[in-house]
Amino acid sequence: MQDDDIKPVSASTYNLNEEQENKEIVRHYRALLRALRPKIKKGDKELLRTAFEMATNAHKTMRRKSGEPYIFHPIAVAMICVEEIGLGVRSTICGLLHDTVEDTDITLDDIKGEFGNEIAKIVDGLTKISTVMDTNSSQQAENFKKILLTLTDDPRVILIKLADRLHNMRTLDSMKQEKQLKIASETIWVYAPLAHRMGLYNIKTELEDLSMKYLEADTYKEIAKKLSETKRERTKYINEFIRPLKDKLTQAGFNFEIYGRPKSIHSIWNKIKKKGVSFEEVYDLFAIRVILDAPIDKEKEDCWKVYSLVTDEYLPSPERLRDWLSNPKSNGYEALHTTVMGPQGKWVEVQIRTKRMNEIAEKGLAAHFKYKEGSHSEDRFDKWFMQIREALGNQDEGGIDFLQDFKTSFLAEEIYVYTPKGEVKMLPTNSSALDFAFYIHTAIGSKCIGAKVNHKLVPISHKLRSGDQIEIITSNKQKPSEDWLNSVVTAKAKNSIKDALREEKKVIAEEGKYTLQRKLEGIGGVYNPYNVDQVMNYYKLGSQLDLLYRIATKSIDLKELKMFTVLGDKVEAPKPVVAPVEHNLEHAITRPIPKKDSELIIFGESSDQIQYSLAKCCNPIPGDDVFGFVSTGKGLIIHRTTCPNATQLLANYGHRVVKTKWAKNKEISFLTGLSIIGLDDVGVVNKITNIISGELKINIAALTIESKDGLFQGTIKVYVHDKDELANLVDRIKSLHGIQQVNRFDTETV
């Protein structure tokens, strides 16, 4: 399997006792059976035993990078399926067998013969999904579409794959750093949002935290350390907050659980970045959860009663009320969230839900099957699957574009909006009025000239917000244009616009066809598929439609046809003259990088042999963790692993990534920037510049300071030799009286 490098090896290589090892494998298997016991029916035990033995024999010569027998991984994946996702016997069998077809001599036919079509189909889907991220773009698109089709047929494929990815992330320590970065990037890019969309909040949160552990290791460790240091203080505060609520809920006769749980490291980090605050200033480091035991017909009523009791005790923030009881998320999530002012002037988030809602929140899609009676959630999942099927209809989408569209259309957070008749519709965040028009119907989207949002006229590009009521205005004279693609995020809207543009292009291309026919006849040739291909390849175009369209719109004037050779019915294009390319970096895209070159030392001995540039999006400096990315036309670009674009590059273009590290070189300085916020004190600018230029002898490239209402905000661009020098500078400025924040910034303005 591609998430884990595996190698055939015997137990003796690691000086392990084979008998002890076998006992340990059996112990893990028995623990799996115990977890599954409530779901085992007659005949299931024999099937499970067969699957376990088949997987154990198939993987017997394989070990993971950690040195343990490989079979521990499939057993662990099966255990996650049972305990953390709530799947049953069939999924457990698939979990045990999920790597056999890809990595061993076992075939799909073997599995079909032993377990039947259903299990073979799921294992086939799991085998295909493993090849998605490591192939080129066109294959990737097709593979990903196959997976999504399997998802709409049988969602267990994705659920088992998420269990597989979670176990790989939990055991990623034994992998090499470049592999860790790639797998962590894929995880944050596709798998964590997918877990969220399937309603698996605990798994989504853990995947995000584990990805951050490798992608932003220093920040992860710092926040984890601070959470650990403040644990006693937080526990004391939670107990103080909960005490009066417990009394009120008990007096009101509720059967309930109430507890506090810390927010994830990843979500705390997001808050720090989004709000521009320090760890100490993040007010909701934890959430209080109230879980009620309520009959299904009284769930909403009881949740609102509890909300009333909570807000009687603590004053709520009205704009922070989230009602997912009236409008559950399309992944089935139902709850009431409110933020209240607790003791000591601290804001606290309180989440109110029932036992059924809590199980759906933790087990996601799998829990829906248990609560089919009286639940609307299946309808929401069915709609989501139907929308995915529609999106798969567009076969011309490139691999990376398709993944990006899938993310923004199907994995994003959602907003709910209303039609003029009051029907509620779910759309991804950042959807426009035009997205809504296409969501209603392709014909309405294609004729959309504007909209009324809450009875106010807005353009088609207007971004919608939850609670908006939208009325679409159409005209029969309207038709889609290229710039519409910049105004939409949903796959349905994008595909419909592209289809319309393609149809229009075909009509225009007909004119180009007659022009090319005349020109070919003018040099003694004929219009046939071979000759059109020769002309298309000569002009380096991707399709005949592109060629004919460009001829019709006079982007190509065909004067070079005079240089073509005519041989009977065929024309042959002249061989293009290739100009020599300095450093010839482009070859790195198509050929694998030799092992000896795989570690590029920037500013070391090999730096004068290869052209490179530092990425403007993150401005790396020596000491930063970096990687090289071979880009088309721009050569090798060096990015920080924490760069805003890093996850997408590492997840989608792994074959273009070059391992890099810094060589010591104190002669070269690098431009970077700091943003500073503090009290507007007399002489503060002089104190800052004195530290930079006077004490530390660092060159200043630019300095801007703005004061308002007793506070100043400034940006300083400086030349430093490495990360250590920058860290020292930050510490020195922070030590000045009245300085509140000093942060490095990585925008292109540096």
Sorting pLDDT into bands at 50, 70 and 90, what band is 73?
A: very high
Question: How big is the CA angle at 532 (ends 562 and 574), to the nearest 5 degrees?
Answer: 40
Residues of the chain with CATH 3.30.460.10: 226-375
Q: Average of pLDDT values for 381-407?
A: 59
Query: CA 482, CA 551: separation in Å to the nearest integer?
Result: 19
Between residues 11 and 479, the one the model is more confident about: 479
Alpha-carbon span 460 to 437, nearest angstrom: 9
Tell me what percent of the residues of the chain surpass a pLDDT of 90: 22
Rg (CA), the chain: 30
Listed ranges 71-75, 171-175, 607-611, 661-665; the one with the highest mean pLDDT: 71-75
Q: What is the pLDDT, as a whole number, of residue 746?
A: 64
* Token representation of residue 148: 């999504």
The pLDDT assigned to 316 comes to 92
- Find tokens 């963790």 and name the residue: 625
pLDDT(477) > 80: yes
pLDDT digits (tens, 9 = 90+) for 497-517: 988 888 888 888 888 888 888
Contact 717, 701 (CB under 8 A): yes
Work out the pLDDT band at 140, boundaries 50, 70, 90.
very low
DSSP labels, 601-613: EETSGGGGTS-EE
Query: What's the mean pLDDT in 637-643?
Result: 85
Task: Mention every residue, 6+ apart, whose C-beta is less than 8 A from residue 317.
Answer: 338, 339, 340, 341, 347
In 3D space, the residue among 417, 267, 263 whose CA is nearest the CA of residue 330 turns out to be 417
| Of the listed ranges 122-136, 495-509, 642-656, the one predicted with least confidence | 122-136
Q: Is the pLDDT of residue 651 over 90?
A: no
Determine the average pLDDT of the residues in 647-676.
77
Q: Are 423 and 471 in contact (CB under 8 A)?
A: no
| 670-745, CATH topology level | Alpha-Beta Plaits (3.30.70)
Q: In this predicted structure, which of 118-122, 387-391, 498-502, 636-640 has the lowest mean pLDDT?
A: 387-391
**Residue by residue, what is the 3-state secondary structure of 112-127?**
HHHHCHHHHHHHHHHH
Name the band, by pLDDT with cuts 50, 70 and 90, for residue 135.
very low
Cα of first residue to Cα of last residue in the chain, in angstroms, is 42
What pLDDT does 392 receive?
A: 59
Pairing verdict, β 456-458 and 739-745: unpaired
Name which residue leads in pLDDT, 365 or 157.
157
Positions annotated as catalytic residues are 102-103
Cα atoms in the Cβ-side hemisphere of radius 13 Å centred on 675: 11
- Domain 379-498 = CATH 3.10.20.30: yes
Give me the pLDDT at residue 488, please: 92
Contact predicate 480/501, CB 8 Å: yes
Fold exhibited by the domain 7-175: Hypothetical protein af1432 (1.10.3210)
pLDDT surpassing 70 at residue 12: no
pLDDT for residue 580 = 36
- Assess whether pLDDT exceeds 80 at residue 428: yes
Output 648 or 620, whichever has higher pLDDT: 620
- Please check whether the domain covering 226-375 is classified as CATH 3.20.20.150: no
Q: CATH 3.30.70.260 occupies which residues in the chain? A: 670-745
Q: Give the pLDDT confidence of 250-282 residue by residue, as tens digits.
A: 999 999 999 998 888 888 888 887 777 777 777
- Residue intervals in the chain for CATH 1.10.3210.10: 7-175
Q: How far apart are CA 167 and CA 85, in angstroms?
A: 13
Statement: residue 337 has pLDDT above 90: yes
Got the DSSP string for 141-200? Answer: HHHHHHHHHHHHH-THHHHHHHHHHHHHHHTGGGS-HHHHHHHHHHIIIIIHHHHHHTT-
> What span, in angstroms and rounded, lies between the C-alpha atoms of 245 and 239?
10
Pairwise pLDDT comparison (748 vs 466), residue with the higher score? 466
pLDDT at 365 over 60: yes
**Looking at the chain, which residues constitute the CATH 3.10.20.30 domain(s)?**
379-498
- Going across the sheet that includes 699-708, the strands are 699-708, 711-720, 670-679, 739-745
- Residue 131 sits at φ, ψ, to 5 deg, of -90, 0
